Structure 1
Amino acid sequence: MNLPFMDIFKDWAKDYDTAVGGHDEQYHEVFIGYDQMLDDVALYVEGTVLEFGVGTGNLSARILKGHPLIAIEPSPEMRQIAIDKLGISVENGDFLRYPSFSQVDTVVSSYAFHHLTDSEKESAIDQYVREWGHPKFVLLDTMFESPEARQDIIDWATAQGYSDLVEDLNREYYPYTTTIRTMLEANGYNVTMTQKNKFVWLVVATK
């Protein structure tokens, strides 16, 4: 994961739970249905779960109700919030650099996979397949169906005066749905993709 994003995480940490709760106008539509989306993610995980980018631990809390969880978070500020909220150990690491784990049945991430470039996303998927033999993937993230759809969202956010959101949309590596599908299918996965709101898609991939 590119280190420049660490400054963003530092700024996000104290306000993240407020934003996902729908109290930040600029990001309101990004997080419409947030609680239900996390509930949906938790329904799809199996066995021992490795969660990358736990943030403040909102998805982690749901997974812990039924599954062993390995939690990974690169931001010291967010990691401490998650530790305090969950009462568990949260490892320092990211999608490409993390401690060694012998068994992972499901790889899960919410609102984080877009911090990787497309090349890094592909490398991460390949790496997990080599290490854990085709774990299940459950990814919840902002994605776009086409360059035109992405531009439409940027134009909409610009018209609304959402300068922070526009900056995010132009800076982050939000993937196209076809790109994610192709990466996973190239590794032998069956992929289902469901759009959850204007921004966010749920991806479930099984071997």
Structure 2
Amino acid sequence: MGREFVEIFDDWVHTYDDSVNGKDEEYKDVFFNYNEILQAVADAATSPVVEFGIGTGNLAEKLLKRDLAVVGVEPNQAMRKVTAQKLPNLEVVDGDFLEFETASSPTSFVSSYAFHHLTDAEKAQAFQLYAKKLPAGGKVIFADTVFDSEQSKKKMIEFEQARGHVNLVEDLNREHYTTVPKIEELITQAGLAVKLSKMNTYVYLIEATKQ
């Protein structure tokens, strides 16, 4: 359920905001147009909304500016602490994409740069779960790295390796980045309508709507 990656963020929590704001050359392409990507997620959300992998609260901040009722779900204690300092009035609970408890019934599930912590099998479970919990018209809106094909993923890893981006290559090899055909398959199998929009070289905006 992505929990095997939780401890990575004990260290990254201190530099995460610098990375997403373009100060880390190695991850610059991954986070290109970061604020616009988060805004696209926030603009598509409806209240009440559950955000998975809330991290340092950057997406939550945009959701709250739209006056949406937000509950954050975050498995990393260090990240929860940072978000509590930044957004003290936001409810943030310990949980993950598959195991979470909220008092309200969400009409939106959102996330940014986190869904790749799940295997494809776990992603399938997640979409099935969200389809059950959402009302008609409810949405799953995720922004995440998705590759056009396995071949394009391989080429990108080779490209980043040639650039000497050791940490990024390690991430791409270790975590569960999927492909456009696979994510479309998983969403439609859950009975949701799917729309994908490419946001930068790495990231797609994934919108899944319950009919």
Same fold (TM over 0.5): yes
Indicate if the aligned counterparts of 1:102 and 1:132 stay in contact, CA closer than 8 A.
no
Q: How far 1:131 sits from its partner (Å)?
A: 3.0
| Matched ranges for 1:171-182 at <5 A | 171-182=174-185
| Matched ranges for 1:103-142 at <5 A | 103-133=105-135, 135-142=138-145
Indicate if the aligned counterparts of 1:49 and 1:108 stay in contact, CA closer than 8 A.
yes
Deviation digits for residues 62-119 of structure 1 (CA, Å, limit 9, x no counterpart): 0012210011100001111111111122111111111144411001010000000111
* AA at the equivalent of 2:92: V
**RMSD of Structure 2 on Structure 1 (CA):** 1.2
Counterpart for residue 73 of structure 1: 74
Counterpart for residue 51 of structure 1: 51
Q: How many residues align?
A: 207
Q: Aligned residues: percent identity?
A: 40
Q: Does 1:191 align with 2:183?
A: no
Partner SS state of residue 4, structure 1: helix
1:151 to 154, 159, 170: 154
Q: How far 1:3 sits from its partner (Å)?
A: 3.1
Q: How far 1:188 sits from its partner (Å)?
A: 2.2
Distance, in Å, in 2 between the alignment partners of 1:65 and 1:202 is 20
Q: Does 1:26 align with 2:26?
A: yes
Distance, in Å, in 1 between the alignment partners of 2:133 and 2:49 is 14
Gaps of 5+ in 1: none
* AA at the equivalent of 2:3: L
Deviation digits for residues 130-170 of structure 1 (CA, Å, limit 9, x no counterpart): 23346311010000011110011101100000000000000
After superposing on structure 2, the runs of 4+ consecutive aligned residues of structure 1 that deviate more than 4 Å are none
Distance, in Å, in 1 between the alignment partners of 2:102 and 2:3 is 21
* AA at the equivalent of 1:115: H
Question: What TM-score do you get using the length of structure 2 for normalisation?
Answer: 0.94
The verdict on how the C-alpha distance between 1:120 and 1:45 changes in structure 2, with shifts beyond 3 A counting, is same
* AA at the equivalent of 2:71: I
* AA at the equivalent of 1:65: K
Counterpart for residue 162 of structure 1: 165
* AA at the equivalent of 1:144: F
Deviation digits for residues 47-66 of structure 1 (CA, Å, limit 9, x no counterpart): 21110000000000000122
The verdict on how the C-alpha distance between 1:131 and 1:175 changes in structure 2, with shifts beyond 3 A counting, is same
